[in-house]
Structure 1
Amino acid sequence: MRKLVVAVLTIYMLGMTAAAAPGYEPGISGEATSKKGEFKYQEVVFVSGEPILLEGTLKVSEDSRGTKATLEYELSNTAKNAKLSRKVVYLNSESSNSLGNQTTYASSLDPKYTETIQIGSDSYKLAEYLFTRSGLTDDKSIIKYLVSDWNGSKLYSKNDGAGEVKIDFTTSMVGYNNYWSSTETAFHKYSIAYRYKSSVTDTTFKEAVGTVEYAVSDSVIKNMEYINNDPKDISFKGGYVLKEGQENIVSYIYDLPDLSKTNPENSRKKGRDSFRTNTVPVQTRTFAPVIKDVPDNYWAAEDIKKMVSMDIVSVQNSSYFMPRSFMSRGEFAKAIVKACDISLEDAAKKRLKSYNPTFIDVEKNHPYYDYIEIAAKMGVMAGTSSTRFSPDEYLTKAQAAAIIVRAMGLEEASDASSTKTAFRDDSSVAAWAKKPVNVAHRMGIISANSYNEIEPNRLLTRAESSVMLNQFIRYLQFDIRKEYREKIINFGR
């Protein structure tokens, strides 16, 4: 399988791929090379007073416990006659809370770092490097949220002490990770002091200061694409292909002194630039079941076909979907678990068979037993009482919205109103449902009818559930990324 591009900000992301590069420099890594642990890599440097894009390789190695990561960079830019060689070791630690859903991370720097940059006839050697980082992940079963901050400084000696470049940096990073997508975006702020001597007889440095705002974003998305079959004489018209690809984006704004001028501080180089890398998507075919009672022009046909092709919602009774029949709580538990690829560890799955059932009305031979147990144990769905799940009870629109919002961990965190909604039938929305209904509506998972009624107590049909689940998946794919990428990568402008 083709390895995906991975940005160099992912040591703290749970479930990271093997290609993840645990670094904190403002660059992006790409496809793996033929050498073990080595990746293509790009980074912009500003030590010379202008942005220079360097390209090359990054080699990553970690100890068996994951507490020590060694990164080795070899980069160049032939047109600028520039080269960079860097080796740095990060020391990492983590700690989980008593509930096990949150983990804090910390990183420090091994003092045995080396870095040299050659640009034309000028050389820059890293003389001092200060660095500290802390981070937190919050695991909400179907999604992990991530924040991290790091800061420090780098002091370079230019031409064996003839000058200095000091870079003070602060970085804030936010991210999330779910089955359908993951995004990490880091916003770096640099204050760069260029210290120079006007002549060889000067005994003290003069200083010119510049600033750089630098955003790096790494995003992975799984997307479903329908492909028609060209031959007419074939057993199925077409089918869905699950495509997984990755995009890395770098965007930066700079305001730097023009070091070629007599008075660099009063002569500025200002600009903005960006670049990105993309992977060739990895493709997986899904099943192409026949659905006899859902014609192509049915209002929910596309949503139903997607859900059935992934067995999120199943056909019943010999290829009949029965779109107007109601969705049960048990079937919705299965749909949520499958849609979000929620799973317990393999050992825990095996133990499900030996445990006593959580609910007295869901025996081990129940068709949705495993899904209900997983949903309950992961906090995605609760029973209708402490002992009953009521798997055959039908689901209302408000109940489905509350399940999704709770699983996302947004019920408490959101600033949506918990006392009222903006819908005409607000009085029909139970007190417990007002906030999740507001949140689900903002997320685009549920919508009101043409009379601005949200109809919270209406039983969901299997067709309506398919639409809601597809909207939920779309949110996990695309909509959530806007908050974590577009607003930051564009510097809020």
Structure 2
Amino acid sequence: MKRAFSLILIIVMILTSQVAFAQIPFVEGGVIGDVALDGTYEYEEMFFLTGKPMTLKGIVKVPAVPNKDTYTQKVTFSLANTAENITLTRNITYDVVKTQKDAVTQTLYEKTITKFDETIVTNEGTFTLGKYTFNDSRIYDHSPSVSYFAGQLVGERTYYLNGDYLTNSGYIKIVDEGDPIVGYEHQWGKSETMVNRQEITHSIPNPNYDATVRGSQENLVWHAALDINLASTQKVDFIYQGTDPQSISFRGSYFKVTTEENVLSVKYDLPTLTSAGDVDYTVTKRNQSEMNKSKEVILETKALITPKIRDIGDHWAKEDVFLLTSLEIFDVKQEYFAPDAYISRLEFGKAVVNALAGVLPEATRTDLIKRKRPGVTTPYLDVLPDDPDYQYFEYIHEHQLMSGENRYFKPDEPITRAEMVAVLIKALGLEYLAPNPPYKTVFTDDSKIAEWAKDYVYMANEIGLVTGYDDGSFKPLNRVTKAEAASMIHALIKHLKDEITYDYREKIINR
């Protein structure tokens, strides 16, 4: 029964697969839902501008983000709460400028608003956006496997009631300022987390104001404070589906499922309302509580190939090998994987590149001609221009994953545990987080770990990629088997798609 349910679930996912954008569309607390039309999504936003916590529902239209250094993006919102007689329309045009800093493999990102129209209709009347400031500034740091980013968002908006700056019946002022926006993008997902502290000031003329009476207030003013925690996370999962028929050429296969989850938590400090639902200006008691929302949608499902490997049936690494060959990270053309054979430097390098960037395309005729032109140097001295794996050597050299020895790659030599860990930590870009030397790792054979490898081994243990042997040793010079390599590359993928989510979402939102 469980297997039948899983199959139905996968069929539903295939039928409902879609493409979304994986970003937070605005600083207000809102969550993205399912696709409604092309580029249009169901959307819910928390609303506090009347002094009463509530939710507005509707749609948001977000165009695809172009792969350009400079572009313009228009985002539109149409929201309402019919029970409270509230409607909101918002049209924002952003200008985005990216400045590449190749010397430090970083990108500076500036997002500004060039046009912003917003109208909110409540029982009080119509609030129209009159003035605003906004800046979203970020820095992206690019490692071979993942681009990490952090940024700062500040903004201020003023809405005028039934008029404009010169003539109005009151105003609402909102000030946005929060902790750094943080996130990442890589082959297996992306995430963006924002903590926004919002201060709201609501002011209307006091109908009972008497200038002759001492202490009479010209305006009725209330204040509110919001702590908005919002995260948008896109990730990939792998679902294994077994097959029941006996007369079938394969026993099971994996499906690659991409989902996006939006999580929102808002702690609010609002004025108290009267029984009629109006702000009570006569009391100092506050309305303090929290609202939470989350939404998960399926973006895409994809069936993976099923490898026909005959020598991993009872092996301890069979699940790692089967998944990575299904993803074509390892070569699937061979009938025997030889899990206990030593893996060569080239085999390991290719598998890591496939895990980070996908299978690289084969060279075109034009590529081959360019490589053989006079003056062109190959990435390594022992790599020829017509090598069938040239594109992998090129990628490895460009991203400094494996340096070789005196510019010799030595592709057929077995890779050691220290070399393997160095490649994985370089891929994550975490080697600079190791302590300043001298220091010792936790392993009992620390003295056998070469100085060049110590930062990599330290960080691999720090993030849980390696834990060592039962006797507490690391054995840096041990050669790596293909099964061990599969296990470590699978651990790298799990770290990228699952474990850093805790750092970038739960740890921030739930603190």
TM over 0.5: yes
Contact 2:41 2:59 in 1 (8 A): yes
Question: Deviation digits for residues 438-468 of structure 1, max 9, x if unmatched?
Answer: 2112222222111111222211111111111
Deviations 1:322-348 (A, max 9, x none): 111111110011101111125789999
Q: How does 1:53-202 map to 2 (within 5 A)?
A: 53-60=55-62, 66-99=70-103, 101-110=105-114, 112-160=115-163, 161-171=168-178, 172-201=180-209
Larger radius of gyration: 2
Alignment of 1:282-301 (within 5 A): 282-295=300-313, 297-301=314-318
Matched, 1:375 2:392: no
Within-5 A mapping of 1:233-244:
233-244=247-258
Aligned match of 2:353 in 334, 337, 341?
Answer: 337
Alpha-carbon displacement from aligned partner over 1:97-123 (angstroms, at most 9, x marks no partner): 24372211222232x532121233443
| Structure 1 unmatched ranges of 5 or more | 10-20
Cα offset for 1:254? 0.8
Match for residue 7 of structure 2? Answer: none
Q: SS state of the match for residue 33, structure 1?
A: strand
Superposed, 1:359-398 pairs within 5 Å as: 359-386=380-407, 388-398=408-418
Q: Which runs of 5 or more structure 2 residues have no equivalent in the other structure?
A: 1-15, 211-216, 372-376
Change in Cα spacing, 1:29 to 1:407, as seen in structure 2 (3 Å) is same
C-alpha contact (below 8 Å) 2:433/2:459 kept by paired residues? no
* CA distances 1:223-257 after superposition (whole Å, capped 9, x unpaired): 12211101122111111111111111111111112
**Preserved contact between residue 220 and residue 281 of structure 2 (Cα < 8 Å):** no
Q: Structure 1 221/102 Cα, relative in aligned 2: closer, same or farther at 3 Å?
A: same
3-state SS of paired residue (2:103): coil
Residue 353 of structure 1 deviates from its aligned partner by 6.0
How far residue 298 of structure 1 moved from its aligned partner, in angstroms, is 1.9
| CA distance, structure 1, for counterparts of residue 197 and residue 352 of structure 2 | 40
201-210 vs 405-414, which moves further: 201-210
Q: Counterparts of 1:416 and 1:285 in 2: how far apart (Å)? A: 46
Aligned CA distance change for structure 1 residues 174 and 265 (closer, same or farther; 3 Å): farther
Tell me the amino acid that sits aligned with residue 167 of structure 1: I
What amino acid sits opposite 2:390 in the alignment? Y
User: How far 1:56 moved relative to its partner?
Assistant: 1.2
Q: Superposed, which structure 2 residues align to 1:175-254 within 5 Å?
A: 175-201=183-209, 204-254=218-268
Provide the rounded CA distance (Å) in 2 between the counterparts of 1:205 and 1:33.
Answer: 43
Q: Which residue of 2 aligns with 1:401?
A: 421
Q: Residues 226 and 315 (structure 1 numbering): CA distance in 2 closer, same or farther, change over 3 Å?
A: same
Answer yes or no: is the 8 Å Cα contact 2:17–2:301 preserved in 1. Answer: no
Contact 2:39 2:64 in 1 (8 A): no
| Other structure's SS at 2:497 match | helix
Deviation at 1:133, TM superposition (A): 2.3
Describe the shift of the 1:319–1:299 C-alpha distance in structure 2 as closer, same or farther (beyond 3 A): same
- Counterpart of 1:3 (choices 4, 15, 18) is 18
Paired with 1:126 and 1:186, the residues of 2 have a C-alpha distance of 23
Distance 1:457 1:443, change over 3 A: same
Higher alpha-carbon deviation: 154-163 or 470-479: 154-163
* CA distance 1:424–1:90, shift in 2 (3 Å): same
Does the CA contact (< 8 Å) of 2:242 and 2:252 recur in 1? yes
Q: Secondary structure at the residue paired with 2:136?
A: strand
Contact preservation (8 Å) 2:171, 2:202? yes
Match of residue 50 from structure 1: 52
What TM-score do you get using the length of structure 2 for normalisation? Answer: 0.85
| Counterpart for residue 16 of structure 1 | none
Change in Cα spacing, 1:88 to 1:285, as seen in structure 2 (3 Å) is: closer
Matched, 1:314 2:318: no
Query: In percent, how many aligned pairs have the same letter?
Result: 29
Residues 63-104 of structure 1, C-alpha deviation per residue, up to 9 Å, x if partnerless?
Answer: 997533222221111222211012222232221124372211
Deviates more, 1:87-96 or 1:171-180: 87-96
How many residues matched?
A: 474
TM-score (norm 1): 0.88
Cα separation, partners in 2 of 1:252 and 1:238, compared to 1, 3 Å: same
Q: Is the 8 A contact 1:164 1:196 kept in 2?
A: yes
Verify the 8 A CA contact 1:62 1:68 in the aligned structure 2.
no
Deviation for aligned residue 1:405: 0.7
Q: Is the 8 A contact 1:7 1:217 kept in 2?
A: no
Q: Closer, same or farther in 2 for the Cα pair 1:92/1:309, shift >3 Å?
A: closer
